[in-house]
A and B are shown apart, each in its own frame.
Chain A
Amino acid sequence: VSPQVSELVQFLLVKDQKKIPIKRTEMMKKVIQEYKNHKDVYSDIVNRAGRTLQEVFGLQLVEMDTKQHTYILVNNLPHAEGNYLCRDKEKEKMGLLLVILSFIFMKGNLVKDSALWEFLNLLRVYPGKQHRVFGDVRKLVMDEFVRQKYLEATQIPLTDPPEFKFQWGPRAEKETSRKDVLNFVAKVRPFWGHLWV
């Protein structure tokens, strides 16, 4: 495995820490650092890096946005039973995220921010109030989740103060599915699970 490939693999793994999609220009800059490589060599290195990621780490390098050429790392291993090695902070955020994604899905894939917050209030999560676990929740939802592409927020035009609509972001589409989310909802509400298709 050439050093360039290893460097790119390490670069991608570190870049993925914050879960912000990686731009192709950044990857190219990293690879073409020392030599004036041709584009073909670049794509060869990227392919080999992808293969290494898959074979060594079980991760898939996925092009999330074909227009903007951004990439994310997705876990390609089958779901294993048992506890996942994950920091508590991350776990809690994923919990909140899944709840939000479920809500959006069950409400027809597009919700107004006011509706979302109304729902989260029922779970003792308030946008204006510092949360014991999540801190500034509004920032977490509007800023972090959106930047990571788990959620997509579009501003409703001509609203003042600005109002937003939320839908699933492209990362959510890649990392989970509506079927998975439905399973989650059914698990939480076993009694009512059979009521809708």
Chain B
Amino acid sequence: ENREAMLNSKSNKLTEALEHANKLFGKVCRAQEAALDARFLVLASNIGKEKANELHSEMSAFDSTAFAEDLLTFMGINRTEVEETDDSEDVPGGFLPSDAWQTVGGEALKYFRRAPTFHYMMGSFKSEPPVPKQRIERQKKASRGKAERAMPAQLKKMEESHQEATEKEVERILRILQTHFENDPNTPISFFDFVIDPNSFAHTVENMFHVSFLIRDGLAKIKLDEDELPIIEPTKPSGRGEEESRAGARNQVVISLDQKEWK
């Protein structure tokens, strides 16, 4: 507060304030008050510094207003015309042309040892080629690319958490089985048709592995049909009671299948 009053070079207010603070400090008995005193000293010294600065500038005889006027002249101001601005504030002194700052700027460049900013003459070169290349490649290899991307992604998932992946697979297989049955109820699917993957033996084994979970959990059942070939069908979502009674009818089946048979 009273900053302006203190700054006035003719006033002694700063000295008075310092003397007053000194007296008060004698009465200080708590740390809080001492901190306040320290704060006051910082403020006082800043004001003191400013006062000293003002003293200096008064002696330097640099008239910034006149300098500003000369700058405007340099920029090509037209003092006979009054500038029309969007807001209705009065702009005294004339019309400043739009290239005013370019005029100063052009002169200013001579006084700086400024490294010219580096720009590619033909526009930025680096970022363009990769983009069209990617697009072309994508168009050609659309389907192939997707499959490739899908497989590594799947593999990654398996590495991350074996358990989760298995569960997901089991769920997926259950869903396939259920969908199939929705479309064609009362026609159980041949077990072998269901699990065998004509392209991959390993995948076949995997499928059997997942199906075994379904059986274990009672979500699907395998029966033997007339030809003594196993068929698989999803269990109906009946109540808990029925499931418990079925639990006794579980059997264990060992299926062996090697690559020769598979083929």
Interface residues of A (CB under 8 A from B): 13-14, 16-17, 19, 57, 59, 72-76, 79, 83-88, 90-99, 102-103, 106-108, 110, 112, 119, 122-124, 132-134, 156-158, 174-176, 180-181, 183-185, 187-189, 192, 195-196
Contacts and interface: CB of A to CB of B under 8 A. Distances in A.
Given A108-B57, A188-B71, A95 B119 contact: no
Given A16-B118, A95-B104, A183 B111 contact: yes
Contacts of A112: 50
B117 A90 contact: yes
Contacts of A73: 115
A16 B19 CA distance: 53
A178 B69 CA distance: 22
Contacts of B42: 157-158
Given A91-B106, A122-B68, A189-B70, A108 B112 contact: no
Contact of A107 (B62, B66, B106, B107): B62
A85 B106 CA distance: 10
Candidate in A93, A95, A174, A184 with the most chain B CB atoms within 10 angstroms: A95
A181 to B, nearest CB: 7
A91 B105 contact: yes
B183 to A, nearest CB: 58
Contacts of A122: 64-65, 68-69, 72
Contact of A189 (B53, B66, B108): B66
Interface stretch (B23-31, B94-102, B250-258): B94-102
Contacts of B100: 133
10 contacts: A17-B117, A17-B119, A91-B106, A95-B104, A96-B104, A99-B108, A103-B64, A122-B68, A158-B42, A196-B60
Given A92-B104, A119-B64, 14 more contacts: A75-B112, A84-B106, A84-B109, A91-B108, A92-B101, A92-B105, A99-B71, A122-B69, A124-B96, A133-B101, A157-B46, A158-B39, A188-B70, A192-B66
Nearest to A92: B101
Interface residues of B, number: 44
A61 to B, nearest CB: 10
Contacts of A156: 46
B109 A94 contact: yes
B133 interface: no
B110 interface: yes
Contacts of A196: 60-62
B91 interface: yes
Contacts of B110: 79, 84
A145 B74 CA distance: 23
Contacts of B61: 195-196
Q: List the 5 closest A-B pairs by CB distance, nearest first.
A: A95-B105, A91-B105, A95-B104, A122-B68, A98-B108
B250 to A, nearest CB: 62
Contact of A75 (B68, B106, B113): B113
Contact of B67 (A174, A175, A188): A188
B141 interface: no
